[in-house]
Structure 1
Amino acid sequence: MATATEKLLKLQSAVAGLNQISENEKSGFINLVSRYLSGEAQQIEWSKIQTPTDEVVVPYDSMAPLSEDLAEMKKLLDKLVVLKLNGGLGTTMGCTGPKSVIEVRNGLTFLDLIVTQIESLNTKYGCSVPLLLMNSFNTHDDTLKIVERYSKSNIDIHTFNQSQYPRLVAEDFIPFPCKGQTDKDGWYPPGHGDVFSSLKNSGKLDDLLSQGKDYVFVANSDNLGAVVDLKILSHLLRHQNEYCMEVTPKTLADVKGGTLISYEGRVQLLEIAQVPDEHVNEFKSIEKFKIFNTNNLWLNLKAIKRLVEDEALKMEIIPNPKEVNGVKLLQLETAAGAAIRFFDHAIGVNVPRSRFLPVKATSDLLLVQSDLYTLADGFVTRNNARNNPENPSIELGPEFKKVSNYLGHFKSIPSIIELDSLKVSGDVWFGAGIKLKGKVVITAKPGVKLEIPDGAVLENKEINNAEDI
């Protein structure tokens, strides 16, 4: 067996010959691998974990209300930049391009909604909040074409790429591209923890600082709830917090999400992967760990610059095994949330659930396309007509997995204001003007096409064939 040092030396000479990537990317990659090989993974001592106080995880409602003064608002917004993590492909939903160009509502994509939101802020307050999109090599070309659509908009839109790292062949730790896999399969983007160094390496960080910007609001482009919140921004500027993570109360659907803890005097993100096996059930309980990370992050730009230059951001490494054409591979990734412990005066804010509305699957798309939400100025807002604070739980079978198939199965999206849960399996087709209420289970037998007629009202029903309707 080669020692870690031997592996690293061999890897360094192999990486030196990869002319597809920059010197910054090469050194970032070698740095990540050497940290991984040194086994520096920080073990959490379970007994030292403390529940954060309200000073550390600030309740949203306890934050000072905003001034109504438009000039004050403009002053706040002129300090802000919005950055959307746009490196993901819509592959899980059967799409080929960037996920942010999936149509969400009224023919508008995630990106359309994001641009509309910032346009309306810039118009209302006479400010100039720029939009940054962090792409990966997977989404870069497509995004550039799409961004041209907004050339007449009142927003400065900037794109930059996150790093491109070679996948490692697990057996001998040689970069996959060195073994002839020179297409996209040989490479990977190393997770959104890469946002800090990529901002710096792209030159965007220094540009923003020279324009007098102080904070960047970072969020996933598929989280429709991640809109600019001036109350949070005002709090951060007042208290000089370098980092703020939005967290929200956990439901049983979120038990795997990372949570904030106080640990040895600092606030820290605890992910399920760091939890010792004997404590996993405790981690998943919503009694002890009541909040989880939404990945809406507010970061001080000067602090990012300082920490990147000091090489101080040593986030936990997430090993992500992959397989391509029978070759076992390893990708090493990091997450932006894990950087919280390196920033000064870092806090969490316990925000309403409405700020977390990710669309990860077609079942989420059904929620946001339905009458459960309304759309105005690019903002997707929950319909007040629903009394239950929780969203209905929706399970759609494999026939609905791809967006194109999902859309084909609905003449129009059913009304679900009064729905508690829906489970659909098999080849089920929905007519127009359908209402679903309470608990509804629809199961088509294998090989049978089950059609729900126009105007049907299904309340607390289990349907296995046309007669049940």
Structure 2
Amino acid sequence: MSATTTAPATETIPWELFQAKMDKAKLSKAAQGSFQHNFEQLVRGVTGLLPDSEIDPVQELPQLEALKESGEKGADIKELLKKTAVLKLNGGLGTSMGLEKAKSLLEVKGGKTFLDLIAEQIKYTRQKYDSKVRFVLMNSFSTSADTKDYLRKAHADLLDEPDVELMQNMSCKVDAATMKPAEYPENPEMEWCPPGHGDIYPSLLGSGMLDRLIADGITYLFVSNSDNLGATLDLDLLSYFASSDKGFVMEVCERQSSDKKGGHLARRKKDGRLVLRESAMCPDEDKHKFEDISLHKFFNTNNLWVNLRKLKATLDANDGVLALPLIKNKKTVNPRDSSTPAVFQLETAMGSAIECFDDADAVVVPRSRFAPVKTCNDLFGLRSDAFKVTEESTVVLAAPVPPLIKLDDKHYKLVDQLEALTPAVPSLFNCKSLTVKGRVKFESGVAIVGDVTLTNSSDKAVAVRDRKIENEEVDVSSQ
């Protein structure tokens, strides 16, 4: 990775101040080592830029469908599941959708939350294969209490299991002017920030969970985001991963035009390793190549498969630290007050670990395995009859095509806004696209067919009920 390496004199780097602060907060040696790696990149001025001249495009990868056809028949799934743990990243609050609790506690379908569906999937797999696949939630200090309270009420049996919670570490905010630990006496909690989901590796190591899982015979770890309803435990992928004996496998999808701004997979020329290149890592002169989806064809779904024994060996060989690329975010110490001091928040991404394994690989999976709920547009479609919940508690497309939803951000961006304007979600089974401009309130008996645009230019919400709207642009303002 290209880097600027002009470092200040060692004595000007206030590392001991960070160490003292992290010792006081009782952060593990692994967490401190990871932060130190990130901090050293920061003070060296590492840019992380990765020009096209240093990478080769990845044009061909194994396809999941082909693996299913060529895979070993009669694999002992029961035995494999005994060696497997499913870990869901559950540290996010869903603030972009107006939530103030764990995003996984948002109701998504039929009265069920993300967490309900995830828990029921685990229980279904255990019952069907008579094998107790392990279940872990990686919580943050923002989501732990709410999540455990919900589990205690709805899935107490899971909460009673060993190591069901992996706690994300905290990361010191760095004062941008002094490069010292940020201070904010008015609210000391704001001196800390989440370290990004790349923290999964030091958290596993520093908590002792990595060693405990290995001691319990767990070798294979499937990791995914709790808000990605497509990220189920695929048994064909598990069988492939186990038989391949690889240390790390990433699920990727083929990039479409809507994905051109997002990161992609590449192969670094100097060592032949697979790497993730995000947009911030691309020099301006290479932006046109970065966005060429015929050149850089694949993006990371954040569905990852990790061999725990090989992860342990890699960590041991590197003093307990995976050298992940730094993600540097500049903010203010109080993110809601722009007048407070500027800080750097140092983060890493877990998918970047693909470059840390000698035998890492990637598999192309169908787009259905990448179905994150990031906006109220996603949630609106998901709650409709265009999708259904299966016996296995997975959510699948029921309609001929997934509807393309574009709701007015001024009125539907936040969940409470969406719910106030959708007492009844319309039928979208035969919908291709729905665009809503202004405040349209959906009440019972509405069916959207084909391509529909609804516009309300008035200041008041206008209700739509008991009607089928097919391939029309309708101004409902005067209704």
Fold-level similarity (TM above 0.5): yes
CA distance in 2, matches of 1:37, 1:447: 52
Q: TM-score, normalised by structure 2?
A: 0.90
Q: Which moved more, 1:207-216 or 1:407-416?
A: 407-416
* 1:284 alignment partner in structure 2: 291
Aligned pairs for 1:98-177 (under 5 A) are: 98-149=102-153, 150-153=155-158, 156=161, 158-176=164-182
CA distance in 1, matches of 2:73, 2:121: 19
CA distance in 1, matches of 2:167, 2:186: 21
Q: 2:86–2:222: 8 Å Cα contact kept in structure 1?
A: yes
Shift of 1:202: 0.9
Secondary structure in 2 matching 1:354: helix
Among candidates 445, 465, 468, match of residue 457 of structure 1? 468
Aligned pairs for 1:29-44 (under 5 A) are: 29-44=35-50
* 2:189 alignment partner in structure 1: 184
- Percentage of pairs with the same residue: 35
Shift of 1:367: 1.6
Secondary structure in 2 matching 1:152: helix
Shift of 1:217: 0.4
* 2:4 alignment partner in structure 1: none
Shift of 1:344: 2.6
Q: Structure 2 vs 1, CA of residues 373 and 446 (structure 1 numbering), >3 Å: closer, same or farther?
A: same
CA distance in 2, matches of 1:182, 1:304: 37
Among candidates 297, 307, 313, match of residue 306 of structure 1? 313
What code does the residue aligned with 1:49 have? I
* 1:316 alignment partner in structure 2: 325
Does 2:416 correspond to 1:404? Answer: yes
Q: Structure 2 vs 1, CA of residues 420 and 106 (structure 1 numbering), >3 Å: closer, same or farther?
A: same
What code does the residue aligned with 1:397 have? D
Q: Which moved more, 1:144-153 or 1:123-132?
A: 144-153
What code does the residue aligned with 1:440 have? V
CA distance in 2, matches of 1:173, 1:300: 37
Among candidates 92, 97, 101, match of residue 101 of structure 2? 97
Q: 1:117–1:378: 8 Å Cα contact kept in structure 2?
A: yes
Does 2:384 correspond to 1:370? Answer: yes
* 2:225 alignment partner in structure 1: 220
Among candidates 289, 293, 311, match of residue 300 of structure 2? 293
Q: Structure 2 vs 1, CA of residues 161 and 296 (structure 1 numbering), >3 Å: closer, same or farther?
A: same
Listed one character per residue, the Cα deviations across residues 113-153 of structure 1 (whole Å, up to 9, x for unaligned) are 00000100000000011111111111122222222231235
Does 2:370 correspond to 1:359? Answer: no
Secondary structure in 1 matching 2:295: coil
Q: Which moved more, 1:179-188 or 1:330-339?
A: 179-188
- Gap runs ≥5 in structure 1: none
Does 2:457 correspond to 1:445? Answer: yes
Secondary structure in 1 matching 2:76: helix
Shift of 1:436: 1.4
* 1:28 alignment partner in structure 2: 34
Shift of 1:39: 3.0
Q: 2:28–2:206: 8 Å Cα contact kept in structure 1?
A: no
What code does the residue aligned with 1:462 have? E
Secondary structure in 2 matching 1:58: coil
Give the CA RMSD over aligned residues.
2.3
CA distance in 2, matches of 1:391, 1:248: 20
Q: Structure 2 vs 1, CA of residues 285 and 443 (structure 1 numbering), >3 Å: closer, same or farther?
A: farther
Shift of 1:216: 0.5
Does 2:403 correspond to 1:379? Answer: no
Listed one character per residue, the Cα deviations across residues 270-317 of structure 1 (whole Å, up to 9, x for unaligned) are 211111112213222322222211100001101221222324521111
Secondary structure in 2 matching 1:303: helix
Listed one character per residue, the Cα deviations across residues 183-211 of structure 1 (whole Å, up to 9, x for unaligned) are 43221111011101101111111111011
Secondary structure in 1 matching 2:472: strand
Shift of 1:17: 4.0
Q: 2:248–2:305: 8 Å Cα contact kept in structure 1?
A: yes
* 2:208 alignment partner in structure 1: 203
CA distance in 1, matches of 2:187, 2:28: 18
Shift of 1:233: 1.1
Aligned pairs for 1:43-122 (under 5 A) are: 43-52=49-58, 54=60, 57-65=61-69, 69=74, 72-122=76-126
Q: Which moved more, 1:264-273 or 1:12-21?
A: 12-21
What code does the residue aligned with 1:213 have? I
CA distance in 1, matches of 2:242, 2:58: 22
Q: How many residues align?
A: 459
- Gap runs ≥5 in structure 2: 1-6
Q: Which moved more, 1:368-377 or 1:441-450?
A: 441-450
CA distance in 2, matches of 1:165, 1:262: 30
Q: 1:52–1:262: 8 Å Cα contact kept in structure 2?
A: yes
What code does the residue aligned with 1:270 have? R
Q: 1:451–1:466: 8 Å Cα contact kept in structure 2?
A: no
Q: 2:86–2:133: 8 Å Cα contact kept in structure 1?
A: yes
Q: 1:100–1:109: 8 Å Cα contact kept in structure 2?
A: yes
* 2:362 alignment partner in structure 1: 348
Listed one character per residue, the Cα deviations across residues 78-115 of structure 1 (whole Å, up to 9, x for unaligned) are 12100011110021111111111001111111111000
What code does the residue aligned with 1:381 have? V
Q: Which moved more, 1:278-287 or 1:118-127?
A: 278-287
Secondary structure in 2 matching 1:206: helix
* 1:415 alignment partner in structure 2: 427
Secondary structure in 2 matching 1:63: helix
Shift of 1:32: 1.6
Q: TM-score, normalised by structure 1?
A: 0.92
CA distance in 2, matches of 1:48, 1:330: 28
Q: 1:4–1:37: 8 Å Cα contact kept in structure 2?
A: no
Q: Structure 2 vs 1, CA of residues 449 and 45 (structure 1 numbering), >3 Å: closer, same or farther?
A: closer
Q: Structure 2 vs 1, CA of residues 460 and 64 (structure 1 numbering), >3 Å: closer, same or farther?
A: closer
Q: Structure 2 vs 1, CA of residues 190 and 154 (structure 1 numbering), >3 Å: closer, same or farther?
A: closer
Shift of 1:179: 4.2
